[in-house]
């Protein structure tokens, strides 16, 4: 058992909530997962999903799914549907119905009116460039807008006319009146509403003004009775503004914002804008391309919900920014598939083997376990005949002493079958090995040969019974550990040209019964999954490589 399985990963938020519940601050907690429906969820969102829903599960509370749909121009029903599917696939259920920030637009508008009436909000007509100029810098205070001292009556009139659609997009905004000299720039009269004529996927054309995220988010939390608003560290500087709105509005609850470090993986890009660019520019085959770090892409790659949840547990919840080695993700995946994926044999780069002393018309059928450690998974039948296919890399003409596979004059065991010996090598006119003539020892089925030791074991398939399949071999999408971290280079410069290789594999016939999303260990090669969309279409078998068998991260942990 690895260190990660024996030592609980840190989760400071869980500790905070435990103390608050023990002190009677809350009787029950309520969290929320509030994605923007402007793209597919990625592995970073998986951490947030596991955290928010996991805390609710652990403490017997509730977790809402709320779409932060305040920017309709970039949102779509496709994204809404995919997000719901991802959350369910990961194994979580939200409390009650799916919620939308847009459900609260009427209430948020009334809250804005309340701020105007209290002299804490005003309509401003500075353009974007002027707004930046007036805002100041980190070292210099901002200066008041010339519209800051409008009367309450004028602001109410102007805001009402904004809602009525009397002004052009961008002509006016509603701003909070806080402090233009505040050290925290987020408190320098932030924008609450913008004029934006955009058809909304939930509210249609009812609104031509939309609230900004900072104004809508905390109030939506309060309306839903959220106790803990958990977000990533980039929102830490927004917390004073979050609290200012809660304190200055007649909201029904007082949610508490807590920040944690986001998930950063090496060899990975998780910016939704850049993931969308990869899709739009056809660098990948869609949001669910198995090379993408999206949840739907990982699912198609063969990741399991349990492996992703386990990975998020291993990473833990802290306030320390850092980069997680993708090898840890692969380790969580392998450890899950090792236990749960049935075995099968498939040859990806075949060499023909003819067993010259085996009867030409004879076929044996071996009944072998689907999984060597789990008899409850059942059995599979593997045919054996005179002519086989083995991996090209399992044969070497001039093999070194420690090459324990097949070479001329040396023996090797076939998985679940006999010991064979290579007697002759046949090559084509270019000198390429195309066939091996071998003999078998009929006394070695299920037992070791007498008087000699055979060290190597290789996999194989019967040529006559082999089932061809399209096999898609995936590697990291990027060649650089930090593709998004170079000032003098574009992240697209680091796309791995060998991130996808398509080949034909020759499978044992038991794989004919595989259906989409079934995972297998192709013995001695790695873990593969039947493609959830293409497998079985017109009878074609399609398998995606999930991950190889080697686990460098586990070795590092043992050394540590």
Residues forming the active site: 36, 262, 272
The SS3 call for residue 496 is coil
For 519, phi and psi rounded to 5 degrees? Answer: -105, 150
Residue in the structure block whose two tokens are 């955290």: 51
Closest to 14 (Cα-Cα) out of 52, 64, 48, 45: 52
CB 258 within 8 A of CB 250: no
Following DSSP, what letter does each residue of 344-403 receive, concatenated? Answer: E-EESSEEEEEETTS-TT--EEEEEESSTT-GGG-EEEEEE-SEEEEEGGGB-TT--TT-
Structure tokens at 439: 């003999």
In this structure, what token pair is assigned to residue 126? 């500075």
Give the integer Cα–Cα distance in Å for 236 and 240: 8
Question: How many Cα atoms sit within 13 Å of 105 on the Cβ side?
Answer: 21
Look up tokens 């409008």; give the residue: 150
Which H or E element spans position 110? Answer: helix 105-117
Supply the DSSP string of 290-310, one letter for each residue.
Answer: TTS-BHHHHHHHT--HHHHHH
Q: Rounded to whole angstroms, how far apart are CA atoms 304 and 347?
A: 24
Selection from 502, 466, 409, 32 nearest residue 227 by Cα: 32
């Amino acid at each position: 058992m690895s260190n990660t399985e024996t030592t609980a990963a840190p989760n400071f938020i869980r500790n905070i909530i435990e103390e608050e519940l023990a002190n009677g601050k809350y009787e029950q907690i309520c969290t929320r997962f509030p994605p923007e429906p402007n793209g597919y969820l990625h592995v970073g969102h998986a951490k947030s999903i596991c955290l928010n829903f996991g805390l609710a599960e652990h403490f017997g509370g509730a977790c809402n799914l709320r779409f932060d749909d305040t920017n309709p121009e970039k949102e779509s029903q496709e994204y809404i549907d995919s997000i719901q599917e991802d959350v369910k696939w990961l194994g979580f259920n939200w409390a009650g119905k799916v919620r939308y920030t847009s459900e609260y637009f009427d209430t948020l508008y009334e809250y804005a009116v309340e701020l105007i009436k209290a002299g804490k909000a005003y309509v401003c007509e500075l353009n974007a460039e002027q707004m930046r100029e007036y805002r100041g810098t980190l070292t210099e205070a901002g200066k008041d807008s010339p519209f800051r001292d409008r009367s309450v009556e004028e602001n109410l009139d102007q805001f009402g006319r904004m809602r009525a659609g009397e002004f052009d997009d961008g002509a006016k905004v509603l701003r909070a009146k806080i402090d233009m000299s505040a050290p925290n720039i987020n408190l320098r009269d932030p924008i609450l509403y913008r004029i934006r004529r955009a058809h909304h996927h939930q509210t249609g054309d009812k609104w031509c003004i939309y609230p900004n995220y900072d104004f809508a988010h905390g109030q939506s939390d309060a309306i839903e009775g959220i106790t803990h608003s958990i977000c990533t560290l980039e929102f830490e500087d927004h917390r004073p503004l979050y609290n200012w709105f809660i304190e200055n509005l007649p909201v029904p609850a007082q949610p508490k914002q807590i920040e944690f470090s986001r998930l950063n993986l090496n060899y990975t890009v998780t910016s939704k804008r850049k993931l969308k660019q990869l899709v739009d520019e056809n660098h990948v085959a869609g949001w669910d391309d198995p090379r993408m770090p999206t949840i739907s892409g990982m699912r198609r790659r063969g990741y399991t919900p349990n492996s992703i949840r386990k990975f998020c547990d291993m990473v833990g919840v802290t306030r320390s920014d850092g980069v997680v080695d993708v090898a840890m993700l692969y380790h969580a995946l392998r450890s899950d598939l090792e236990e749960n994926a049935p075995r099968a044999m498939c040859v990806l780069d075949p060499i023909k083997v003819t067993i010259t002393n085996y009867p030409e018309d004879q076929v044996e059928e071996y009944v072998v376990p689907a999984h060597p450690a789990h008899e409850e998974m059942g059995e599979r039948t593997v045919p054996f005949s005179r002519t086989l296919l083995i991996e090209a890399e399992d044969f070497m003409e001039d093999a070194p002493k420690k090459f324990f596979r097949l070479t001329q004059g040396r023996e090797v065991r076939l998985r679940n079958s006999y010991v064979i010996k290579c007697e002759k090598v046949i090559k084509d006119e270019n000198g390429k090995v195309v066939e091996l003539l071998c003999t078998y020892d009929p006394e070695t089925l299920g037992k070791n040969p007498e008087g000699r030791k055979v060290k190597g074991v290789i996999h194989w398939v019967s040529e006559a019974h082999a089932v061809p399949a399209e096999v898609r071999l995936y590697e990291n999408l990027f060649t650089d550990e930090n593709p998004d971290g170079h000032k003098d280079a574009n992240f697209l410069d680091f796309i791995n040209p060998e991130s996808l290789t398509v080949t034909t594999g020759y499978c044992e016939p038991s794989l004919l019964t595989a259906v989409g999303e079934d995972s297998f260990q192709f013995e001695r090669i790695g873990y593969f999954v039947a493609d959830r969309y293409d497998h079985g279409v017109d009878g074609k078998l399609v398998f995606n490589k999930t991950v190889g068998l080697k686990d460098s991260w586990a070795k590092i942990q043992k050394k540590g």
